[in-house]
Amino acid sequence: MSGSGTDKTRAAIELDGPVVILVEPQLGENIGMAARAMGNFGLTRLRIVNPRDGWPNVHARRAASGADHILDKVELFDTVEQAVADCTLLFATTARAHDQAKPVVAPEAAAREFVAQVASGGTVGILFGRERYGLKNEEVALADRIITFPVNPAFASLNLAQAVLLIGYEWFKLATNNALPYAMPERSERASQHQMQAFFDNLVRELDKVEFLRPAEKRDTMLVNLRNIFTRMEPTKQDVHTLHGVVMAIAEGRKGPAKGGVLDGAQATRLRALLAEHGQGAAPHESGTVRGLARLLRRNPTDAERLLWEALRTDRRFAGQFKRQTPVGRHIPDFVSFPHRIAIELVNADETALIVSDRAARRDWLMARDYRVLDMTTTAIETDLAASLDALAALLAATADKAMPGRD
């Protein structure tokens, strides 16, 4: 298991970068922490000039927190001159003005020179001085540039690891084009206007039940403000599904659906449009969302659905043979009989083209799996339920005849 931010299962970024040169460091812990800072930003070349406590150093190893690949390749030198002999561009880091006629640059400007010099095949060296008093004048004199940091003038001293980290950060940003190691995953596409409207209708309906939108003269303004809250969020499809669930959970409480709260025809049509749109290219992992929407439909039947469901439960011809708003694969027929492989589709007036298209695709999908599909209009159910039930009974009889041996 990886630690906080350290993941050895991922490939390390290998870059040609500047050489970090620590001049007479006094504590092994500081060397180790400097190596850790180098590892954070892809620096791998570490040279040490005359370390006070010798080398190797167990304290450095402990403080490096896994940057062993840097410590294993440390180069030791007796003098600064030896350590910088192959450098084609040398920088000295210092918080003090050494009264030398030498360009003084900030880490960001220095990093641009690092990148250019390394790209041309040169070797860049960066000198870091002793913990107690930094670099000597003659050591700074060897450098081509001085790097200093924009810090509080009254408290300008940085420890070795801090100084190495700031330099490494600026260099790594440029060398990797400021690429971040990860980004927020795009788990769902933006919610459509259909989805937003279905959610908003559901929200307003529940707010009306508790008389939230008062007084009447302020209702329109409150609705505009509410809508703007959600549009500013730019919610995804999954966000809208979650918000649907939140509203229904608050409305229904722990003991299940609240009394009343039946969707009218227009609201039912919008919710079916939401399901139809979600079904377009839905991935297998979204089946939980489909089931959640099926539960929402079950809790909010239209008048036609309630009439038909009551008949299917109580009429002896159909009792116990049908389920309501049950997913079959990623599709949700209005009613389905698994024993008879019959699906019932309710057709509302003024349905959108998207719903019609989705129903046709669902019909094809079901029929390809040997389901028979019966369309019933909500108008027919509400005005002549008996005729609709007779049509269903005839289909059941035909199905039974087909299943009996010797029948065509």
pLDDT number for residue 253: 62
pLDDT number for residue 258: 40
pLDDT number for residue 135: 93
- Mean pLDDT taken over the chain: 83
User: Residue 375 class from Cβ within 10 Å (0-12 exposed, 13-18 middle, 19+ buried)?
Assistant: middle
Structural domain spans, the chain: 19-175, 301-408
Dihedral in degrees, nearest 10, Cα atoms 105, 106, 112, 118: 70
pLDDT number for residue 329: 77
Mean pLDDT for the stretch of residues 141-145 = 94
Q: What is the pTM of this model?
A: 0.51
Tens of pLDDT, residue by residue over 69-100, are 999 999 999 999 999 999 999 999 998 877 78
pLDDT number for residue 185: 67
The region of weakest confidence among 288-297, 338-347, 349-358 is 288-297
Tokens 């008062």, located at residue: 214
- Please enumerate in sequence order all residues whose Cβ is within 8 A of that of 406, keeping only pairs 6 or more positions apart, or say none: none
Superfamily per CATH, domain 19-175: SPOUT methyltransferase, trefoil knot domain (3.40.1280.10)
Tens of pLDDT, residue by residue over 170-185, are 999 998 888 887 766 6
Dihedral in degrees, nearest 10, Cα atoms 273, 329, 394, 309: -60
Percent of the chain predicted with pLDDT > 70 = 81
What CATH number is given for 301-408 in this structure?
3.40.960.10
- Please enumerate in sequence order all residues whose Cβ is within 8 A of that of 31, keeping only pairs 6 or more positions apart, or say none: 22, 25, 48, 51, 57, 60, 63, 71, 160
Mean pLDDT for the stretch of residues 297-325 = 81
C-alpha span between 84 and 142 (Å, rounded): 9
The region of weakest confidence among 218-222, 252-256, 281-285, 398-402 is 281-285
Specify whether the backbone of 372 is left (phi greater than 0), alpha (psi in -120 to 50) or beta. Answer: beta
* Separation of CA 275 from chain center: 23
